[in-house]
Amino acid sequence: MKILRNSSAGFTLIELMIVVVIVGILTALAIPRYMSASTKTKQAEAKSILKQIYVNERTFRQQEGNNAYYIPAGPASALTPNALNQIWIEIGSTAKYSFTVVSVGNGFLATAEGNIDDDAAVDTWTIDDAGVLTCTCNDVDESAPCA
């Protein structure tokens, strides 16, 4: 003779709803942190390329021997792949920033601009011939908004 038991193997609707709420809360906390980390990584890439431009501009000046930095020709002084080859820099096709170099007195000013989080602000970083890296508009850090 078999005895029927009231089986409690499984989850109740309340237990499942609690799990869904907990997963939702964890997701709500994790996504903004991931987005922030992602945009900060893009900023780090731009700063790294600007530092590379600085070092390579200094090298170009020493090798040329005419005390002149390499400034690309053209109205925007954009660092296109051809111009970058002149100072030995390669930027991947997935770069989120555009780079320019302009002459300032006897020096140069390199600028990186990019909209890295799809809002109205454009993240802008510069480095000069003295190696001073400056953020003129921080698109990530809300405590240092763009002017």
Is 88 inside a domain boundary?
yes
Is 85 inside a domain boundary?
yes
Q: How does pLDDT run across 117-126, given as a tens digit for each residue?
A: 777 778 889 9
Mean pLDDT of all residues in 18-33? 92
Q: How many domains does the chain have?
A: 1
Is 130 inside a domain boundary?
yes
pTM, full prediction: 0.70
Enclosing domain of residue 47: 42-137
Is 124 inside a domain boundary?
yes
Mean pLDDT of all residues in 19-23? 96
Is 51 inside a domain boundary?
yes
**Are the C-beta atoms of residues 112 and 96 closer than 8 Å to each other?**
no
Is 92 inside a domain boundary?
yes
Integer Cα distance of 43 and 124 in angstroms:
9
Q: Which band of pLDDT confidence, cut at 50, 70 and 90, is reported for residue 93?
A: low
- The CA–CA distances, whole Å, from 35 to 26, 32, 85, 113, 116 equal 15, 5, 33, 19, 10
